[in-house]
Each structure stands twice: as structure tokens, then as C-alpha cells.
Structure 1
């Protein structure tokens, strides 16, 4: 209800990850050709996680559920970051592997094509990940809760 609003879906989510890709490409020109000499792709990330301020007054079972849910949200958002970093690496590799073009203008246009294609694949992978996660949410949370309860009962975790 009060979580961050995600632009891509237009709705609110318990957690969110904002990402910005930055690509720096340098070119090497020689008579009749121009190639990408180097490419550096970075991802700037901001992860927004839920906060809960009423833990002292809450029942132990509510705390247990909250701890389980917030840990799962954190894991979920960290996976979004991993997906982005993998695509940044793939983009960097694809740019460096591109063939020389007749001019630097053509090389820049090719770099833009490669970048657009890789960022589109990135977006598709992020959406696919969210789709899979949402389908498996209930069974995953129940499994995590059972696991935490088992660990509390065996003394491996302190009571909630």
C-alpha cells in the first residue's frame, strides 16, 4: 500500500531497485575504418527495501512472518541487481567484440544498436524474473517460514 511505485508497472511494490546503465565507448580511427577501442559499462543501483517500525509491540508470529518476508524481498531485489550486472558485462563484451565499421559515425550507430538490443534483453529478463517470482511466491514464503520455525525449534535461531 505504501511501498515504492515502480514506473514500469505503475503500481506499488514492497521493494524496488532503480538502475541506470552508463556506457563509455572509445573509438580508434584508421584510414577507411573505425572500431570500438574500449567499452566500459557501469550500473548505478539504488535498492529500496521495506521498513517496519512496530516490532516491539508485535506478536512473535508476526515478527517471524515479517523477518521471513523482508529477507525474501531483499533476496529478490539483490537478484535484480545481479541480472543488471550480468547484462552490463554482456553489453561491454558485445561492444568490444563488434567489427570495425567504415567510419566512426557508423561505429557509433552500431554501438547504439548493440546497446539498445542488450538493454531490451535486460528488461525482458527482469520482467521474466518477476513473473516467475510472483507465481512461486506463496509456496516459497511457506517453505521459508517452515525452515525458520525448524531452525528456531532446534535452537539454531533465537526465537522471534
Structure 2
């Protein structure tokens, strides 16, 4: 039996669980925003939010780390992946606001809606990662046998890299789709909560 440790990191995009033999850990961190009006809070998000690739600050982020300790076994038909030992670590960063006394009720209501929308967006990034974790587990265990375990390691490593790239593309695709609808969705939620259109 041979083993291969492979790790990968993707960024962008509180509990511990086990799914299909994979360990998942999640934690949430926060950054503070300051302001007394919704416009001030919106500006603060762009100034203090997590800095992602490309040098842009975002209202939230989810750091995704996949790791796996693959095990291989020689059988009659050749060498195969016998265990994947997958692990997924998720670190979500969200905004937090301690409302000053001069913040009016409408601003507080708008903030709750915005904060909830940001949290839901980041939760979907985590959901995408968990979906790909399951897919990685299935596909690695289903790889056809190779003549030697050395060859099996090479094949498994290549497939891991392909799956991680596909996962990263899925995360980017979600962000692109969100960029097209997030403003209208938020404006609709804010207008419904405050009883007037948001300009």
C-alpha cells in the first residue's frame, strides 16, 4: 500500500462534520465596519473588507482548502486508489457592525438585510466546495486500475489538479452570475423592507 499527500487552496469565493468519509471543518471570522448611515457602511465595506486576488476588497469571502492523503493498494487487476482521506477546511469572513446611537432604524434594517445577503452568498460558496468534495471522493475511488502504484499516483495527481481547477471555475462562475443580479436583488429586498425604492 502506498500513500500520497496532495493539498490545494482556492480563495474567493461553525461546525465540524463528516460526509462520505471526508472531514469538513468550518469557522467564521469577522471584520468591523463603521458608519452611521447606509452609504457610510457601503463605503466601509469597500475599504475594510477582505482583500482577494486581483487587489479588490469584497464584502465577504470564503477561503477553501482541500487536502487529501491518498492510499493505494495493489490488486489482481492492478493498483487502485483504496482510500481518499479527504478534508475540506472552510474559513468564511463576514462583516460586523456595532450600530452607533445616531444610526436610525431604517439604516439598521438595511444593514441586517445586507449582512444576511452577504452571509447567504458566502454560504453558497461553501456549498459549492462541499459538492466538489463529494465529487472528488467518488471520482478518485472510481479511477481505473493502473499497472503500478507509481503510475496510479501520477494519474490520481493529475485528476486531483483537474478537479480542483473545475471547482475553482465553478466558484468563479457563481460569482459572475451573482454580479449580474445582486444589485437588483438587494434593491428589491431593501425596498420591500423600507417601503420605498433604493436609489
TM-score w.r.t. the length of structure 2 is 0.70
- Please give the per-residue CA displacement for 1:65-95, whole angstroms capped at 9, x wherever unaligned: 1111100000000000000010111011000
Q: Counting strand residues as a fraction of each chain, which structure ranks higher?
A: 2
Task: Rate the CA distance shift 1:116–1:73 in 2: closer, same or farther, 3 A.
Answer: same
Provide the residue aligned with 2:154 in structure 1: 109
- Please give the per-residue CA displacement for 1:18-51, whole angstroms capped at 9, x wherever unaligned: 1110112111114672111121322101100011
Runs of 4+ in 1 over 6 A off after TM superposition: none
Provide the residue aligned with 1:87 in structure 2: 132
Secondary structure at the counterpart of residue 125 of structure 1: helix
Deviation at 1:122, TM superposition (A): 0.5
TM-score w.r.t. the length of structure 1 is 0.86
Provide the residue aligned with 1:136 in structure 2: 181
CA RMSD of aligned residues (A): 1.6
Task: Rate the CA distance shift 1:133–1:55 in 2: closer, same or farther, 3 A.
Answer: farther
Q: Which blocks of at least 5 consecutive residues in structure 1 are unaligned?
A: 151-160
Alignment check: 8 A CA contact 1:4 1:15 kept: yes
Report the count of equivalent residues. 149
